[in-house]
């Protein structure tokens, strides 16, 4: 009677892997620089764990103080950039608090889940993507300051100082993509082993349950962060669309338009990439269900085990709606785009942009 429990413990211990250096360094740097607690000190051997932990908290407070300058140093600033900074302030503080309060951190979740041999390559891809987006956004900020009235050095420094916490928020969609990718890798491996009959149905149940338990421990804070990110990213995306329409209406220079295109492209990628990975997880789960259905049709013996595994996979999907409100799949980008387009049409009519 203790054999299933022993097997479950063995599988859970076998799932624990060391996070690759490229991925771990990614989390360490952004935790220390931007203050977001990803839990790096819990999964790596560091002599000064408490120092690193409190230093990241200090950096988070520094990022919040940089955003506070929006209300003190530039209280009368106008334009869409002013509203963008206000939204970033409202997004950064809850995200920082949620990550601080999470007992089961991002790095712990990934260390329990990583089984893919290409995790090191995925870490390098995350590095390249974030550095490319950071360089493009910083270049856009420099271009904006050069082409507007931001001529004094103190004002330009203030603009860049306030821009840094906005870059910190761009790391969150990358982390969401890494989470979904490694869940997808785990489910894909289960599907391959099941299709090649390299795994028994009992092992399938145990490993699938281990992955689901791992994500359920993590998704309490994740859902809160995801919901708040959606509520604050929607106005940001509307501002990007508004800037694009306004630049077309006022015939701004192509340099100003190009900076708007960069922000529009990045905002779209932030919405779509995690949703694509989430849809890939759903597709792999559907293939597991199909294999189990085929076993029920073709196998004449031991159909009860196949039916039990099928019922469990159907009853416990890995990805459910966040707080039973927002779907974690490709329906999310279409929902957000349609909502933003609807409200943007109303705003254009009230502001008489094209009158």
Average pLDDT over residues 48-64: 77
Chain segment 235-254, per-residue pLDDT in tens: 877 877 777 777 666 655 66
Chain segment 119-136, per-residue pLDDT in tens: 778 888 888 888 887 887
Residue with tokens 């990241």: 56
What is the band of 10 on the pLDDT scale with cuts at 50, 70, 90? very low
Q: How many whole angstroms separate alpha carbon 100 and alpha carbon 224? A: 13
Average pLDDT over residues 158-177: 76
Predicted pLDDT of residue 71: 61
Average pLDDT over residues 104-117: 79
Domain range holding 253? 3-351
Higher pLDDT, 132 or 154: 132
Distances (CA, A) of 106 to 41, 102, 179, 218, 326: 11, 9, 8, 8, 21
Chain segment 274-321, per-residue pLDDT in tens: 888 888 999 999 999 999 988 888 876 667 888 888 899 988 888 888
Predicted pLDDT of residue 14: 40
Write b or e for each residue in 178-197: b if 16 or more Cβ atoms lie within 10 A of its Cβ, otherwise e: bbbbbbbbbbbebbeebeee
Checking if the pLDDT of 114 tops 90, the result is no
Cβ(89)–Cβ(70) under 8 Å? yes
Predicted pLDDT of residue 269: 77
Checking if the pLDDT of 75 tops 60, the result is no
What's the chain's average pLDDT? 77
Range of lowest pLDDT (64-68, 107-111, 292-296, 340-344): 64-68
Q: How many whole angstroms separate alpha carbon 195 and alpha carbon 202? A: 15
Predicted pLDDT of residue 81: 59
Q: How many whole angstroms separate alpha carbon 33 and alpha carbon 27? A: 10
Predicted pLDDT of residue 260: 66
Instruction: Output phi, psi for 154, to 5 deg.
Output: -60, -40
The domain total for the chain is 1
Predicted pLDDT of residue 120: 78
Lookup: tokens for 129: 């993507």
**Which residues on adjacent β-strands are paired with residue 326?**
322
Lookup: tokens for 155: 């004002």
Q: How many whole angstroms separate alpha carbon 179 and alpha carbon 173? A: 10
Higher pLDDT, 145 or 22: 22
């Amino acid at each position: 009677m203790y054999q299933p429990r022993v097997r479950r413990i063995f599988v859970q211990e076998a799932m624990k892997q060391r996070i690759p250096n490229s991925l771990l360094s990614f989390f360490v740097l952004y935790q220390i620089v931007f203050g977001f607690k990803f839990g790096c000190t819990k999964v790596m051997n560091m002599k000064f764990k408490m120092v690193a932990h409190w230093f990241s908290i200090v950096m988070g407070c520094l990022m919040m103080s940089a955003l506070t300058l929006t209300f003190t140093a530039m209280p009368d600033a106008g334009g869409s950039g002013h509203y963008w900074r206000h939204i970033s302030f409202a997004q950064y503080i809850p995200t920082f608090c949620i990550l601080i309060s999470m007992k089961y951190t991002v790095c712990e979740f990934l260390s329990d889940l990583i089984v893919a041999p290409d995790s090191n390559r995925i870490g390098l891809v995350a590095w390249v993507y974030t550095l490319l987006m950071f360089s493009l956004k910083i270049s856009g900020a420099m271009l904006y300051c050069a082409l507007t009235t931001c001529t004094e050095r103190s004002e330009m420094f203030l603009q860049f100082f306030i821009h840094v916490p906005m870059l910190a928020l761009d790391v969150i969609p990358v982390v969401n993509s890494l989470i979904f990718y490694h869940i997808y890798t785990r489910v894909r491996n289960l599907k391959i082993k099941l299709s090649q009959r390299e795994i028994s149905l009992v092992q399938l149940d145990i490993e699938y349950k281990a992955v689901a338990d791992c994500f359920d421990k993590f998704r309490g804070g994740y859902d809160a962060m995801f919901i708040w990110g959606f509520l604050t990213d929607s106005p940001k995306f509307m501002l990007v669309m508004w800037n694009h329409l306004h630049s077309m209406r006022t015939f701004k220079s192509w340099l100003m338009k190009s900076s708007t295109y960069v922000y529009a492209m990045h905002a779209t990628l932030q919405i779509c990439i995690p949703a694509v990975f989430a849809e890939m997880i759903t597709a792999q789960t559907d293939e597991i269900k199909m294999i189990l259905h085929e076993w029920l049709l073709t196998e004449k013996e031991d159909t009860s085990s196949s039916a039990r595994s099928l019922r469990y996979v159907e009853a416990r999907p890995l990805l459910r709606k966040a707080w039973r409100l927002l779907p974690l799949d490709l329906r999310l980008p279409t929902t957000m785009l349609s909502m933003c387009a609807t409200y943007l049409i109303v705003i254009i009519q009230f502001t008489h942009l094209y009158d």
